[in-house]
Amino acid sequence: MTLLPLIQHYGYVGVFVGTFLEGETILLAAAYAAHRGYLDPPLVAALALTGCFLGDQTFFWIGRRWGNRLLTKFPGLAPRIARMDALLNRHHLPIIMIMRFLYGLRIAGPIAIGMSRLGGLRFLCLNLLSAVAWTTVIGAAGYGLGAGTLYLLSDVTRYDERLLMAILGAGLVFRVVAKWRSLRTSPHGLACMPVTLSTRFHQFVLAQCPDASCRAQWAAGSISTAIGIVALHHLSGSHPAFFILLLLPTLMATLRLGLVPGLAIAIFGAGLMLWSDLRMASTASPLMLIFNAGLRLSVFVLITWGAWKIVDLSRMLHALSHTDSLTQLGNHRAFMSRGEEEIQRARRGALPLTVLFIDLDNFKSVNDTYGHDAGDALLKKVAKVLGARLRHSDFAARLGGDEFGVILYATEGSGAHVVAEQIHGDLRASFKISGHPVSASIGAVTFREAPERFDEALKQADALMYEVKRSSKDAILHREILTPNGVCHD
């Protein structure tokens, strides 16, 4: 199939999806195609306006609801958010109006505005005006390109496909070059790109909604998206390409809410689309429309089930690779990953951070005297003590052998020392009950200002733990780092 039939069949879907994200190139090509008669100009304009308006509204509310969490998961957004914050502080109103024309800020811009104190209603009004301006300017440029080629070339029809491919190709090349330059200017950008993409996939797929409020928001968003897609399907005269878009809310619900909600959204969307087709049907048999709806629903169910199986397998593999099988605590990989997240959170919010390194004294003698089963039972008791003493926001992991690590979120020096004393006391009591000659040496370090990297913090806690083992064992050594240049006190 050549490009022009693809544009005629799927062009409207492409306009909506493209403008929802970053769609200057898509809108230019669509406006050119509309001038040449391959697409309907009013429908292209309406879809482009709707897509860019809904896209920025979505990213605005994402920033308002999950802005800080996004910066923790995707630190690469931080420079763009900072750039947008600086622009907003100096030029509040004009920046919102021209935000879509600033390359690289189309998604980061609304997120940054959502994290600011700008009112939601005010942004909605400004966003609507900005969407109208952006659609008019970019659409007029594409429409004008069509008029210009018609003026310059007498037989322009034979060049339509080549010109459209040139527009789309130029936009693709521009994006690839811009991405390449950004990766080259970031340290280890190209080398880390496969790891980054894999990490971002897991962060999205594995983060199911933790509470009822989150689930309600995603359910409402999936239902609203399905209704919006069916409305566009109805307005376009029952265009067959729109049913593919119903996969978007179906997969949204499946990934975030589970298999049953995903199937429910699929049935809901297919039912709405069948209702739309029946309302507009003039010559088609209702039985044929119902049969087509059943086929569509079967496709949705198969894709939804397959996506859920992939997600389920990904979550299982993630749990296996980040969980210590004996104690069910995090493992070393999970500890380092969580530590880097906490470092970023502490630096962004100017919060203190405490790291504990726990090593069991004389643990080898338990394995040698009583066997490895007794040693495993002792390690499970340590995990139970840590789980009972720590908060939900804290994190504990078995780093290997008889070594454990703890991260205390936003805990300053005095509070960290109290927690370390409580953990040490609980462990001592547990070891006494078991009758084994084991104790715990704990190194604890509290940072008033978080270091650049988490491994630096862990090394300092590890060094303090070894100081305890070299001196008396069965004790705590806590040090508080007051300034980034290393001023501290015990």
Query: Which positions are catalytic?
Result: 402
Tell me the pairing of strands 476-481 and 439-447.
Answer: parallel
CB 465 within 8 A of CB 430: no
- Going from the C-alpha of 357 to that of each of 340, 404, 423, 429, the distances in angstroms are 16, 6, 12, 19
Report the SS3 class of residue 358: strand
Contacts made by residues 314-318, CB under 8 angstroms, sequence distance 24+? 314/202, 314/205, 314/206, 315/205, 315/206, 318/202, 318/206
- C-alpha span between 111 and 78 (Å, rounded): 11
The CA radius of gyration of the chain, in Å to the nearest whole number, is 29
DSSP 103: T
Least Cα distance to 389 among 414, 413, 424 occurs for 424
In the block, residue with structure tokens 């995603």: 218
- C-alpha span between 425 and 440 (Å, rounded): 10
Tell me the pairing of strands 439-447 and 395-400.
Answer: unpaired
Report the SS3 class of residue 153: coil
The gap between the terminal CA atoms of the chain, to the nearest Å, is 73
Spatial neighbors of 39 by CB under 8 A, at least 6 apart, are 7, 8, 11, 12, 15, 30, 33
What are the helix (H) ranges across 323-355? 332-349
- Copy the structure tokens of residue 100: 């879509």
What are the helix (H) ranges across 77-211? 78-90, 92-98, 108-115, 120-152, 160-185, 189-206
- Going from the C-alpha of 376 to that of each of 128, 371, 372, 439, the distances in angstroms are 62, 9, 6, 15
